[in-house]
Amino acid sequence: MGREVFVIDGFGGRRVIDGSIKVNGSKNDAVQAFAASLLFKSGYGVTDVPDIDDISKMGALLEKLGVGVLKNNKKWSFNTKNITSHVIDPEIACKIRASILLTGPLLARSVKVNFPHPGGCVIGERPIDLFLDGFKQMGAKVEENEVGYKITAPKGGLNGVTIFFRNQTVTGTETFMMAAVLARGTTVLKNCALEPEIENLGRYLVSQGARITGLGTPTITIKGRAGKPLEAKKPYKVLPDRIEAGSFLILGALAAKKLKVEGVRVQDLESLLAHFERIGVPFKLGQSSVTITAPTKPLQALEVKTHEYPGFPTDLQALMAVLLTQAEGESKVFEAIFEGRLVYLETLVRMGAKTQVMSQNRARITGPTPLTGASVESPDLRAGLAYILAAIVAKGQSEVHNIHYIDRGYECIDERLASLGVKIKRLT
């Protein structure tokens, strides 16, 4: 897998794409939905699941715990009647950071959990202290060893407490909301992340018997079920992937005569679309679609600062930077979520971009500059797709290596881009 490469013949700045593309289910929503299976007695299903590597790994982790897992196209079914292990497989978990989502529901269900240091893309520090501290607050005993951590809930299960997140955290909010569903007493989570995937998870759990209030706000209150699992009455429906939608919209802004991105929730894209209005990208909104058309005037530079939802998504920052290389004037990028996430800019410079990294979180991009093809190495999922976009815009041929990162988050990206007229091949 690691030896596979995308070979892309760029458009040389021409606007060639003219068509439509449908957005798949959300990776970030699906992985938490898989973890939530542990809260259910049995017979739990998830629909609209994307066919990507991170999803396969989460399914494999659940199987290692004794969960019966069945995949049927975009629908997955889980039988959690007999959880036979409390050890989250380290070999698989080290390759996917979302594995930490399993800790909360597994600890609440099985009273103990062993898990390794989580893996995934290397994009700066992602401390897990807040998870360990939160479990301790709920009465659990935490022991660290060479492999990872061993956590044991108190007799009778986790206790409801008030947890204040020092920084908004998506995985933290999701993990402790799930853990609290089966805990004893009431748990209050403060300074919660506001991502729509969190609200989708919470509303589904409520529809299946959980007692959760405050969804969509910074304070979420959960009245625990004291170890009594939920019973699924209907499957979990995964949201459309707003990051994938944003990725395709930026592609359209770069290289399309006209591109219709279908199957989206328009309300989840407001920040990106507000930036499009400032930079000069024309778009039209449908009920569940956004159509990008070629701008009639040069794109204009602007400042992009990432922020927790509903602000500009950090996962679109690298892709937006590619668009800024084609805008007139000096743009600024401020990465406020993850340190070290601007390293990809060195590669864009090799392709012709004019950038200046001011610090590990700030950079300037001066444009417009024509890009030229190059051989590049994907450092992570989102930067990898940014390189694909840069290669599409560039003149000449590019090779994008380490594409296993890209496969983690984008289903059949080469085939879907080829359907739009992009000249892309996957070679081994």
Say how far apart CA 5 and CA 15 lie, in whole Å. Answer: 24
Q: Is 412 a catalytic residue?
A: no
DSSP state for residue 159 in the 8-state scheme: B
- The DSSP code sequence of 335-365 is --S-TTTTTTHHHHHHTT-EEEE-SSSEEEE
Structure tokens, 170? 């998506």
- Give me the residues paired with residue 329 across strands: 367
Query: CB-side exposure of 406: number of CA atoms within 13 Å?
Result: 23
The catalytically annotated residue of 94, 121, 192, 412 is 121
The order of strands in the sheet holding 148-152 is 112-116, 148-152, 141-144
Residue 241 · residue 2 · CB < 8 Å: no
Say how far apart CA 397 and CA 8 lie, in whole Å. Answer: 6
**Which residues, in sequence order, are CB contacts of 129 under 8 Å at separation 6+?**
none
Residue 426 · residue 3 · CB < 8 Å: no
Say how far apart CA 96 and CA 120 lie, in whole Å. Answer: 4
Residue closest to 268 by CA, chosen among 26, 49, 47, 74: 26
Residue 36 · residue 236 · CB < 8 Å: yes
Residue closest to 110 by CA, chosen among 4, 38, 187, 28: 38
Q: How far from 400 is each of 7, 17, 213, 385, CA to CA, in Å?
A: 7, 20, 45, 9
Runs of H (alpha helix) within 147-291: 170-181, 196-207, 242-255, 270-279
Structure tokens, 44? 């739990």
Neighbours of 261 (CB within 10 A): 26
Q: What are the catalytic residues?
A: 121
